[in-house]
Structure 1
Amino acid sequence: MANRLVVIGAGESGVGSAILAKKQGFEVWVTDAGKVKQKYKDVLTKYGILFEEGKHSEDRLLGADLVIKSPGVPDTVPLVVKLRQAGIPVISEIEFAGNYCRAKTICITGSNGKTTTTMLTYHLLKTAGLNVGLAGNVGQSFAWQVAEADYDYYVIELSSFQLDGMYAFKADIAVLLNITPDHLDRYDYQLQNYVDSKFRILQNQTPDDFFIYGADDPIIQKELKKRNIPAMGLPFGWTQAPRNGAGIEDEKLVINWKQKTFDMSIFDIALQGRHNTYNSMAAGLAGMVLNIRNEKIRESLSDFKGVEHRLERFLRVHGIEFINDSKATNVNSTWYALESMNKPIVWIAGGVDKGNDYHALKDLVKSKVKAIVCLGVDNKKIREAFADIVPDIVETQDMTDAVRSAYYLAKNGETVLLSPACASFDLFENYEDRGRQFKNAVREL
């Protein structure tokens, strides 16, 4: 049996993996090229797990029987390539934890709306009184919970990076919301590679499992024609609800499942906007499959509070509304944000560009955006994309400056929208750090 297990990355995911591995009798060692946060050091010490920081000791890594790597570490990193060449399996935390998980899994992926749909589905199951954990890209580490909790269900948000490290894992209910170009820098700038990665959510499914998917998405539609999918398909879209699936009829969200029907007015859904109605359909379908009662589904969809940093209506200052959409790290997320606004916008954008094509935003920007505040180390691409349609484009290098500039450009009754369309790593730790700095800067106005 593989006994020597090494974890690359001592964040939430890595530390959770180490705890589970220790409990399962592995000889565990954790390595992180950066600094390990004190709270994780304390946990590793408590469990008697050895770790190093500030480097990767290659000899020790190459002596492993099994390696679990953080989803943030690309497959192309020389060390990972070396491990694979040496025939050492490199897997993800989710794959590892799946070996020891007896609970039912509802796994959610897509280019946009994953976190909202995951949180909403979790809220729905919890409201219905099910014993449920929240894991993956949100909540506590999946492996950590498998080691220490005893849930009957897990709602798991999965990014393409997590799916890439999963082989034997199976979702009982797989949800694929949509696919638009994202993270192409990690996929050799080949859209098909990214699409294949997203479709890994279906691997190992059987006819007893379920596949909930966005039927209006052209990329998903094209892929379905090419693939043989054994799981029961449950589509959702903006047309009449199919016999098993969800749709919109007479401004009502309708879900059909077996002989049962659920419906509610789209105006009673807590999360407004077309993209959020899709998210609500996906969560509602998962609830129906799990035989949750209609009144519990209705209650959950109507009282859900939303997700921090995702179109979060934060504060009004002198009649100007400030909206925190820091979680919009790609063009498509920002498209949804701009599309849902109905007042003139001062748009704060920029960061680490992941091969973005801003063309898709042009019509919306032309009709809704009065000024752009660029927030990034290199804003050339944004300036070039919109210079001919937006008269005011301002350059900033920190959040305080960006928020002040936006405030001076906006008038009473207008909106300042932070929706970067880019990753945050040039100036911030992550999108949460960016969102928190935005809110702090707004408070100080």
Structure 2
Amino acid sequence: MSALSVVEICAGAGGQALGLELAGFEHRLAVELDENAAATLRFNRPEWEVRVGDVADSSVWNPSEYADELSLLAGGVPCPPFSIAGKQLGTGDERDLFAWAVELAGKMQPRAVLLENVRGLSMPRFAAYRQHVKDRLAELGYWSDWKLLEARDFGVPQLRPRFILVALRSEDARYFSWPKPTPFIGTVGSALADLMGERGWRGVSAWAKRASGIAPTIVGGSKKHGGADLGPTRARKAWAALGVDGIGVADEAPGPDIPEAFTPKLTTEMIARIQGWGASPEYAWTFTGRKTTRARQIGNAFPPPVARAVGGAIAAALRHEGAGSECVETEESTAHDPVYLALKGSAEPMTAQQVIRAAGGTMSEPEFARRMADIGRDFELDVVGEGSERTYAIGAFRGFVGQENHVRHAAFNVARSKIS
């Protein structure tokens, strides 16, 4: 098969990179902000070009140098702007690069785009944001679709929902279909028994039986917080039910002198296995740096088997494999926010009742108020008048899409030392 090229932004320590490589893509470039993650990429693939720095900084790399006949633009742009565990600031977060990545696709003109993020982006709070992305991709000539995928459905022993955006040119999109699930068959115990028992711990068999479920979502955390562990209180309780101490990360597996009833911690090698690395030789990967930085790299990654499954589906579409079919756009896949669409599609300001009718007529006024509050966080709104005569008009997108004078730059520079 002929090679397909990829430029990967916000590449992290290589989860998506390895998955895409196994799907048949060759990296022209990987760009990553965190020096520790970039060091891991370079260690595992010294032949790759890896740039370190803010991906939106023109001094770090020049997109035009990599745009020629590019097959895929891929990336795991920062999650905190959309995370349910965070403030869900969206465009108000200096780390938000999702809309910027869409504009980058417009400049580089790849045949396909793959962007992944947390489940929070799929929530109603970001319906207008998703609509903006969908509409902008259509303006740039791309068919696109979003889908929430679970890592456990692709051979990973973990509950890890990821919200995936795939965009392709119409001539390629007709050959695309989302990958079929290949669920993980087993438990945390069966996945980690060999690693947990590698130093001769006599309690490993009993522990493996206790660890009879699927792992909760691995977290990487950020530089704002302390050392490595397995997550906040709720996650630690889930780990405790599996017989794992989630407070901290072990340097090594328990040895033969450790009591059989001991509750072990996971090593970084075990955490990597839970993320999909190392279960077979093709998923071998070495993480560099100290324990805390290794744990953070692993926890922030896109599981390689999931990236491989989605990348394989994109590769098949780019090679026009299969019979192909018409790209059928349903209301569910095209209309993420009817309120935003109603406002965007009107040449004149609209009252609340006019918007509600245009949006299908089923929304209550309190629901409308909540939607407008969400939309107003990511878009300029012109609100005039009082009571039933009050009118609404939607204005510019607030987010960063490459503007040289955007407030994102100053905020990013202030927070840079704490961003990971």
- Note whether the superposition's TM-score is higher than 0.5: no
TM-score of the superposition, structure 1-length normalised?
0.33
TM-score of the superposition, structure 2-length normalised?
0.35
Q: Which one has the bigger strand percentage? A: 1
Higher relative contact order (CA 8 A, sep 6+): 2
